[in-house]
Structure 1
């Protein structure tokens, strides 16, 4: 059976002692290095494959110290502390002897408690009503997703006339793939830079740090299957060359699966 292109991209070979080797995938190439979402998913995959793993992901933070070059790399995952029901991880990606990513993860043994979604999913036309994928694919990784924007599309005129930063969209892997923690972590990063929409000016921009909070456990992700996800992203402040971006991901039924917050560098 042929692995899905996403699984090929995040595939790791264990070396023992929490060390793994991987290789960048041309299918997820970005303007410089690979798509940040797939790199974050790779870091998480090392944690999930570690023999000392306790529970399931609750939070993941990755800091992009440098862009990965095309080729092999090494991932190091270490359980910094294990408690009775939680575990704290330190992750690093190294290439050619230099650190290109640092990160942390929190895993935990989830238990049934009182639960509620405070933030409701936005009202959106159905994916069929939106039609074919409508996010331009100037880089290869965009082709790996079916993205149908319902509000806040990439500007068609770079005239400096932007006045809002919110985007809402439908998304899923292309070809479709059952949802899991790694693919959800990657899709938390599919939103194009908010500065492009707010300024209607296409300036260089790149994520420096991203945190994903997983509100759903593996059973709820499995129930989502290969179905559509709703996404929403918005910035809160642009200042001194950086902006922050918050985003939320719901399943098709409107249950909140993950929230994410990232800091993005921009030029100009």
Structure 2
């Protein structure tokens, strides 16, 4: 079994009090905090370690309240409700043994998709294929970039675009197949929308986040480790904040997930 970087970075140990402890944030370090993608994947790992869920991940909703350390992040898991078809679970992350206030919290819903009479999806964007897209370089600052191969099909960072819309073909640099945890981590990879409205870098921090997984388990497994298209936009960027919307598509044009986040810059 291959030990992929995402799985190594989200490995957990059990504390005596039943909580979990992590030491894997270094590989997913951003500028001044562990990357949000890592925190989301780590929280899901803790939830699954507490007790595997029968249903597929349906949604996640998270709040980022303080910067996250590379190591020593403790996580607690609480089952809010277990239903016949749907489970509701919360994970909270703390700095070591300090349980006064969480640094990060995420609520998860698990429920397998059901076949129904309706099947509508918005149109797949017209973009050039990965081999004609611009490969984004990695950076010595945000180390998490080395974990992904990203090719921009629409948009150019640090330019004054008319609209902050981008579309990037992305795959795990290690060849890891896509699953719930990997999709969750992928959804926070788009650059801040400010990077596409101003040549000068205006950095941001995610405050609130949500994801809805729209595919079936079979559709998720069929993705393999192929490129996914991450389409990103924001309806408004102003007064130190923006709401970023993400659509994640398979290479064959299937809408896999949607995500939104509020960021302060």
Query: TM-score, normalized by length of structure 1?
Result: 0.90
* C-alpha distance 147-81 of structure 1, shift in aligned 2 (>3 A): same
Deviation of 1:136 after TM superposition, in Å, equals 5.0
More strand by share: 1
**In structure 1, C-alpha distance between the alignment counterparts of 2:17 and 2:121, rounded to whole Å:** 41
What whole-Å deviation, never above 9, does each CA across 1:177-221 have from its counterpart, x for those lacking one? 110001101111110000121233312311111101000133211
Equivalent residue, structure 1, for 2:83: 83
Within a 5 Å distance, the mapping from 1:88-237 to structure 2 comes to 88-96=88-96, 97=98, 98-114=101-117, 116-130=119-133, 133-135=135-137, 137=139, 138-155=141-158, 161-237=160-236
- Uncovered stretches (5+) of structure 1, i.e. residues with no partner: none
Deviation of 1:128 after TM superposition, in Å, equals 1.7
Question: Does structure 2 conserve the Cα–Cα contact (< 8 Å) formed by 1:18 and 1:77?
Answer: no
Deviates more, 1:102-111 or 1:245-254: 102-111
- Uncovered stretches (5+) of structure 2, i.e. residues with no partner: none
SS of the counterpart of 2:197?
helix
Deviation of 1:65 after TM superposition, in Å, equals 0.8
Deviation of 1:52 after TM superposition, in Å, equals 6.1
Deviation of 1:108 after TM superposition, in Å, equals 1.2
Equivalent residue, structure 1, for 2:33: 33
**In structure 1, C-alpha distance between the alignment counterparts of 2:236 and 2:65, rounded to whole Å:** 22
What whole-Å deviation, never above 9, does each CA across 1:207-253 have from its counterpart, x for those lacking one? 11110100013321111001110110001122332110001001111
Question: Does structure 2 conserve the Cα–Cα contact (< 8 Å) formed by 1:58 and 1:213?
Answer: yes
Deviates more, 1:76-85 or 1:252-261: 76-85
**In structure 1, C-alpha distance between the alignment counterparts of 2:245 and 2:120, rounded to whole Å:** 17
- Measured on the aligned residues, the alpha-carbon RMSD in Å equals 1.9
**In structure 2, C-alpha distance between the alignment counterparts of 1:231 and 1:55, rounded to whole Å:** 25
SS of the counterpart of 1:77?
strand
* C-alpha distance 109-50 of structure 1, shift in aligned 2 (>3 A): farther
**In structure 1, C-alpha distance between the alignment counterparts of 2:93 and 2:118, rounded to whole Å:** 35
Question: Does structure 2 conserve the Cα–Cα contact (< 8 Å) formed by 1:117 and 1:255?
Answer: no
SS of the counterpart of 1:68?
coil
Query: TM-score, normalized by length of structure 2?
Result: 0.91
Deviates more, 1:196-205 or 1:59-68: 196-205
Equivalent residue, structure 2, for 1:247: 246
SS of the counterpart of 1:99?
coil
SS of the counterpart of 1:199?
coil
**In structure 1, C-alpha distance between the alignment counterparts of 2:113 and 2:154, rounded to whole Å:** 35
* C-alpha distance 32-117 of structure 1, shift in aligned 2 (>3 A): farther
**In structure 1, C-alpha distance between the alignment counterparts of 2:226 and 2:198, rounded to whole Å:** 33
